């Protein structure tokens, strides 16, 4: 997917996205980072067809996203939103089965293929043994895996995730991110996600798009994007960027930059 000079405004007065361009490479994990309010989730919304850009375009397989019909697009990419709601007594299996809706027709579609896709998604997410449990009986990490399983049941080559670790403790954050990494490595899924944690973005991404105030401040590999100067400019904080045996590339935050433009914008 290519993002070409995209602008977007919720109120038609102030642009949340200001000429954003970028690339989501096939078969890789691309993570969008940046401070609150910089346009991360808005950009993902444009990329997934939830928002129509005011200018520019997001292009998937040579075709602008807004030119796809909803079901056609849903057979190409699946989205796991930041906040998800479903009836608390709905079972895991029934919720995952909703992922097959883009493949249904007025005549019903291929039931055998639907059943196989649901089984595959439950197996990938280690939820087969919990298929008959109601969602409200699951832990936070398990619930997040159910929503990812529903997206996987769509059987798309692309998966978008908007802050998939929100509201999870550290253990479940890492569990979800390790799982996302396996989906990429073992099943070849192209993945784009929004994360807040810089170190998690470094560890689990092939490419990073760093945003600031509705623009792309930097894009490239983690080593190219995550520098002490970039963190200072984008987030308004001082940091030390290190590479150590066992830990790899990582960031240690040391303090706030006083009176910085980034800090004021944040």
- CA proximity to 65, closest of 83, 81, 80, 44: 44
pLDDT at 264: 45
Return mean pLDDT, the chain: 92
pLDDT for position 265: 47
**pLDDT tens for residues 93-143?**
999 999 999 987 655 567 899 999 999 999 999 999 999 999 999 988 899
pTM of the shown model = 0.92
- pLDDT reading at 244 higher than 80: yes
Residue with the larger pLDDT of the pair 184 and 258: 184
Per-residue pLDDT of 46-90, as tens digits, reads: 999 999 999 999 999 999 999 999 999 999 999 999 888 888 889
Q: What domains lie within the chain, and their CATH numbers? A: 1-76+156-226 (3.40.50.300), 87-155 (no CATH)
């Amino acid at each position: 997917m290519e993002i070409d000079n995209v602008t977007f405004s919720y109120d038609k007065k102030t642009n949340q996205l200001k000429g954003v361009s970028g690339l989501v490479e096939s078969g890789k994990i691309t993570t969008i980072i940046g401070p609150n309010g910089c346009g991360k989730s808005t950009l993902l919304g444009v990329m997934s067809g939830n928002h129509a850009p005011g200018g520019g375009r997001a292009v998937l397989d040579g075709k602008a996203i807004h030119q796809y019909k909803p079901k056609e697009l849903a057979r190409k990419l699946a989205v796991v939103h930041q906040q998800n709601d479903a009836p608390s007594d709905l079972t895991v299996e029934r919720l995952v089965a909703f992922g097959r809706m883009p493949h249904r027709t007025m005549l019903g579609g291929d039931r055998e293929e639907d059943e196989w896709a649901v089984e595959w998604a439950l197996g990938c997410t280690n939820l087969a043994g919990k298929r008959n449990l109601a969602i409200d009986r699951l832990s936070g990490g398990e619930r997040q895996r159910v929503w990812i399983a529903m997206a996987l049941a769509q059987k798309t080559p692309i998966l978008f995730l908007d802050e998939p670790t929100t509201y999870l403790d550290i253990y479940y954050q890492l569990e979800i991110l390790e799982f996302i990494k396996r989906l990429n490595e073992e099943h070849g899924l192209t993945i784009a996600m929004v994360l807040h944690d810089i170190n998690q973005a470094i560890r689990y991404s092939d490419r990073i798009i760093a945003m600031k105030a509705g623009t792309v401040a930097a894009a490239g590999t983690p080593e190219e994007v995550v520098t002490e100067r970039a963190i200072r400019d984008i987030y308004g904080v001082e940091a030390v960027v290190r590479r150590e045996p066992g830990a790899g590339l990582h960031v240690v935050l040391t303090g706030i930059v006083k009176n910085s433009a980034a800090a004021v914008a944040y």
